[in-house]
Structure 1
Amino acid sequence: MSTSRFLPALRVMLALQTVALLLQAITAGLLLSTPGGRGLHNASAGVVLVTALLYLVVAILVWRPGGGSPRAVAPAVAMVVLVLAQAMLGALHMKALHVPLGVLMFGGSLVQLVQVLLARRAVAA
């Protein structure tokens, strides 16, 4: 990655997205164990969507006006698509696909976050 002025924002958005996905998993557990869990799970799904959309906006800013690599845009687009698919699967109560996709999304977000943080260290060194 280049030294775009938007890279710190990309790191922050990836961290927020990863935390939102972790909270989504926590509220999934609450969904199964408490009466109010469904509302919390639905609300945290909205947070995940907002963070994924903001991640996409920041990835585009890193690329176009920031002069960075366009490589950050593809994972951001993929995450938005996965979030929308995840919401549809959840609404259709297709747990056999909804749960593994959620795990995949969290893992993918965590991998992206680590890559961006390691790229920062490589530039600093």
Structure 2
Amino acid sequence: MQWLRAAVVLHVVALLFQAVTAGMLLSTPGGRSLHMASAVALLVVGILHLLAAILVWRPGGGSAAFIVPAALLLVLTVVQAVLGEMGVKTVHLPLGVLLFGGGVAQLGRVFPRRAVA
């Protein structure tokens, strides 16, 4: 479970960095290459997140409930990248916000709140 938690935190940080580089894309000449490089890093982190979710379930004997959100985030990341390459900003930008929200939701799943006694 520790690997999954680390992967989800890294995923959310990578999603946040992607948003930062999106702003740089609009304001600096080298922003496009940095945004594309961080997109590749985000894809790698998404794959690691999915692998960690699978390892928690299968060999770890944990819940499989983390797999579907991890897979959905990965698929949406690929769709996001394709839309970005195609220049479809009207869908690319809102999908980026949705991805960040999904990452934060997954963060809430792997770090559940504890009841205060």
TM over 0.5: yes
Equivalent in 8, 15, 27 of residue 9 of structure 2: 15
Residues 90-119 of structure 1 deviation map (CA, whole Å, 9 limit, x = unaligned): 000000000000000001101110221116
Deviating above 4 A after TM superposition, structure 1's stretches of 4 or more consecutive aligned residues are none
Q: Distance in 2 between matches of 1:37 and 1:92?
A: 17
TM normalised by structure 1 equals 0.89
Q: CA RMSD in A?
A: 1.3
Q: Is residue 76 of structure 1 aligned with residue 63 of structure 2?
A: no
CA distance in 1, matches of 2:72, 2:112: 21
Match of 1:63 in 2: 57
Matched, 1:112 2:106: yes
Q: CA deviation at 1:9?
A: 0.7
Aligned to 1:3: none
Structure 2 residue runs without a partner (length 5+)? none
Gaps (5+ residues) in structure 1? 1-6
Cα deviation code 1:69-96 (max 9, x no counterpart): 1111001110110011001000000000
Deviations 1:3-51 (A, max 9, x none): xxxx111110000000000000000000000000001100100111011
Q: Give % identity.
A: 55
Given residue 72 of structure 2, which amino acid in structure 1 is its aligned partner? A
SS of corresponding position for 2:111 = helix
